[in-house]
């Protein structure tokens, strides 16, 4: 077949909001698709994710990555956070639904035999919750969170958030103070049954890969250990690796960082028959 390459295509996701995606299909396509889901304060063009795409495409996979609709990007500008109001309106329910919306969009473009999902950080939690709802062949969790509820403030900090209706969090790289509405917490409380990761991953009947760096200061390796325990699989530890496996933004080097390459290699072995 002829190569397919779409860069900054547009799909429609949660709340009717449009967002950007990339899709690449090699001429020697093996009829298997990898979809990558970014994490909190992430986007499809962050760091070395483009080299992750190239890695899997070079091994015969179609590869798609996309921006979650309320990550702070727009359909005109997908890098960093030009739309803080969209960021403020985000919910976990939106993120999980976005995966389904995006998969439907890709399904209208190509016909696959197998679909594999990679979720990084918070995206890993989204992938687990999505896979509980929709047929998926395998999932790979890269430095994934294991719980949502524990990420919210408690006590007086939670009461202040409720009272004001909004709080801000600092993006350490861009130095933006990004807003979060209290509706983020309300969404979790109202949908706690479907947004709790532990029972979701325990119920998944599919193969699961859990990979974590042992120097991750953003998501503790204990969360990877929990996910591996719940899914009755082994935790794949990358010694010396941080939360983004040695990458940074922007990533201008031609090759994957050593730790991220190791993650890709283990994931490729997992996806292959």
- Establish if 236 belongs to a structural domain: yes
Residue 19 makes CB contacts below 8 A (sequence gap 6+) with: 10, 11, 13, 66, 67, 68, 69, 71, 73, 74, 75, 78, 98
- Establish if 119 belongs to a structural domain: yes
- Establish if 178 belongs to a structural domain: no
Q: Does position 37 have pLDDT exceeding 90, yes or no?
A: yes
Q: Given pLDDT bands bounded at 50, 70 and 90, which one contains residue 1?
A: low
- The stretches of 191-257 forming alpha helices (DSSP H) are 197-203, 221-230
- Establish if 140 belongs to a structural domain: yes
pLDDT, tens only, 60-112 = 999 999 999 999 999 999 999 999 999 999 999 999 999 999 999 999 999 99
Note the pTM of the prediction, 2 decimals.
Answer: 0.98
Number of domains in the chain: 1
CATH code assigned at 98: 3.40.50.1820
The span from the CA of 128 to the CA of 171, in Å, is 25
- Establish if 224 belongs to a structural domain: yes
- Establish if 234 belongs to a structural domain: yes
Range of the domain at 89: 4-148+196-271
- Establish if 186 belongs to a structural domain: no
- Establish if 43 belongs to a structural domain: yes
pLDDT, tens only, 135-191 = 999 999 999 999 999 999 999 999 999 999 999 999 999 999 999 999 999 999 999
Residue 189 makes CB contacts below 8 A (sequence gap 6+) with: none
């Amino acid at each position: 077949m002829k190569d397919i390459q779409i860069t900054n295509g547009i799909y429609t996701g949660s709340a009717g909001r449009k967002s950007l995606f990339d899709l690449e299909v090699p001429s020697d396509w093996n009829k298997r698709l990898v979809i990558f889901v970014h994490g909190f304060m992430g986007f499809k063009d962050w760091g070395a994710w483009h080299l992750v795409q190239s890695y899997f495409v070079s091994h015969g996979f179609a590869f798609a990555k996309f921006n979650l609709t309320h990550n702070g990007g727009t359909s005109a500008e997908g890098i960093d956070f030009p739309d803080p109001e969209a960021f403020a309106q985000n919910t976990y329910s939106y993120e999980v639904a976005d995966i389904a919306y995006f998969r439907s969009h890709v399904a209208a473009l190509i016909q696959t035999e197998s679909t594999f999902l990679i979720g990084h950080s918070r995206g890993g939690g989204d992938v687990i919750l999505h896979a509980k709802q929709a047929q998926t062949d395998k999932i790979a969790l890269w430095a994934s969170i294991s719980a949502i509820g524990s990420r919210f403030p408690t006590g007086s900090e939670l009461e202040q958030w409720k009272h004001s209706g909004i709080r801000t969090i600092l993006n350490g790289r861009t130095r933006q103070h990004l807003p979060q509405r209290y509706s983020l917490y309300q969404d979790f409380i109202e949908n706690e049954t479907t947004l709790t990761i532990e029972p979701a991953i325990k119920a998944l009947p599919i193969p699961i890969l859990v990979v974590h760096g042992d120097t991750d200061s953003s998501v503790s390796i204990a969360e990877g250990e929990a996910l591996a325990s719940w899914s009755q699989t082994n935790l794949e530890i990358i010694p010396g690796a941080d939360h983004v496996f040695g990458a940074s933004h922007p990533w201008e080097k031609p090759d994957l960082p050593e730790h991220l390459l190791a993650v890709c290699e283990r994931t490729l072995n997992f996806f292959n028959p």
